[in-house]
Structures are given as C-alpha cells and as structure tokens.
Amino acid sequence: MKIDRIIHSRRKTFALVIEPDGRLTVRAPMRASRAQIERLVREKTTWIQEKQAWVQSHPATPAPKSYTDGELFYYLGEPIPLQIVPAAAPALRLEDGRFLLARRALPRATRVFTNWYRQQARLVIGARAAERAAEFGLVYRSLRISSAQRRWGSCGAKGTLNFSWRLVMAPPAVIDYVIVHELVHLEIKNHSRLFWERVASLAPDYRQQTAWLKANGRLLSL
Ligand SMILES: [Zn+2]
C-alpha cells in the first residue's frame, strides 16, 4: 500500500486520511517510526482500499478557491501549494513547486489564475497537439483555448480544435488522450465503434484516462 504523505506532529494517536483525490496521508506522533506506520497501514489495508474506492467514485464538488496560503492548485496533475507574497511581478508565477501570488492581486485572484492557466494551456496543449497531429499525419486548421466547464475538448466542422483551459490542470496522459480524441474527430465525426477503435490504436490506455476524467473532472476548477 502506497503512503503518499506522512505528517509528524505533537499528537498522541495515529490517523489515516484519504484525501479527496484518493491519496493516503498518515498523521503520526512525533516519535513514530516508519516501521510502526507501515504496520498500521498494513493492518488497515482493507479499510483504506474501500475508502479510496468510495472517494474515487464520489467526487466532491469542490468549494470555490479561497486563495489562502497552502491551498492546492492543480497543474499537469500535480497539487501545487499557494503562497501569498508581499510583491511579485508578474502577479502570479510558478516557482520551486509553489504558486507565488502578489498580495495586491488577491481581489482579482480568480482572473489572474484563469489567465495563467489559459496561457499554459495554449503552450502545453498547443505543442502537444501539433506533435501528435504530425505523428499521425493529421491536419487541423486552428486550435482555440475555451472556457468550457465540463467539455474538455471539441472539434469544429471546419477542423478547428477547441480545448478548455481547465484541461491543463489534468495529468499529461489525460491531456494527451483528449488531444487524441479530438484529432480522431477530424476523420470520424461521431462516436461509433470505428471511432473508439481508432482512439484505442493511438492511445491504448485511453479507458484509464476517461475514467480519471469521470472521477476527477469536477476538481479541475477554480
Ligand atoms: Zn468526441
């Protein structure tokens, strides 16, 4: 059983916490040894697995972001903590595994984050789509970054690909699947068996990615 995080603190008892994304955190007393923690986790394996399965099939609709220190923001599938800093230029940047947000930008934090994600989406998704299209010998007309809430991607009749900026919060493998999905729509407009066969030939583990989006899609928001 994988332990994602161990937090030692001045507590007397152990606690196992299944995070909203299914990761396992162990809260332990200061002096608890690794062996003790591993034994506890072994004893509780069934409980942990049941809880993880439940969390994954019941994604909570997250509360809107509060933009406070330590709050987590997803980028390429990684949770990145926020740190409010007295000053920063630009107002938001990603540095050493933290988001640094200037205090003066707090009143418009949602807009600042949205713009940041949009920019990254254009770079990351744009580059990856171009790469994969070339690899498959497919040609699209243009690529747009949209604000769609739950529609991760779409393919217009004239060969325009659209991707939601929220997608850049997801792990690279998931982004890749959505790109492949829309690229295949350049050739096959519907979701017929032929379509899914073509997707499977280009992204063999696509079922894993659709399942991920189903379970976690709601978490990709501000
Ligand atoms: Zn589709």
**Ligand 1 centre from 141 Cα, in Å?**
17
Q: How many CA atoms lie within 13 A of 208 on its CB side?
A: 9
Tell which residue, 214, 216, 222, 221, has the closest CA to residue 19: 216
Q: How high is the pLDDT of residue 58?
A: 66
CA angle 121-125-155, nearest 5°? Answer: 105
User: pLDDT of 32-44, one tens digit each?
Assistant: 999 999 999 999 9
**Ligand 1 centre from 56 Cα, in Å?**
23
**Ligand 1 centre from 190 Cα, in Å?**
7
Strands 5-9, 24-29: pairing is parallel
pTM above 0.75, yes or no: no
**Ligand 1 centre from 165 Cα, in Å?**
17
Q: Which residues of the chain have pLDDT under 70?
A: 58-61
Q: How high is the pLDDT of residue 61?
A: 67
**Ligand 1 centre from 103 Cα, in Å?**
41
**Ligand 1 centre from 191 Cα, in Å?**
6
Mean pLDDT estimate for the chain: 92
Other residues' Cβ atoms within 10 Å of the Cβ of residue 96: 6
Q: How high is the pLDDT of residue 52?
A: 84
Tell which residue, 19, 25, 24, has the closest CA to residue 59: 19
User: pLDDT of 94-114, one tens digit each?
Assistant: 999 999 999 999 999 999 999
Long-range residue pairs from 109-117, CB within 8 A, at least 24 positions apart, any chain: 109/65, 109/67, 110/65, 110/67, 110/222, 113/65, 113/73, 113/222, 114/147, 114/165, 114/222, 116/92, 117/75, 117/165, 117/166, 117/168, 117/169
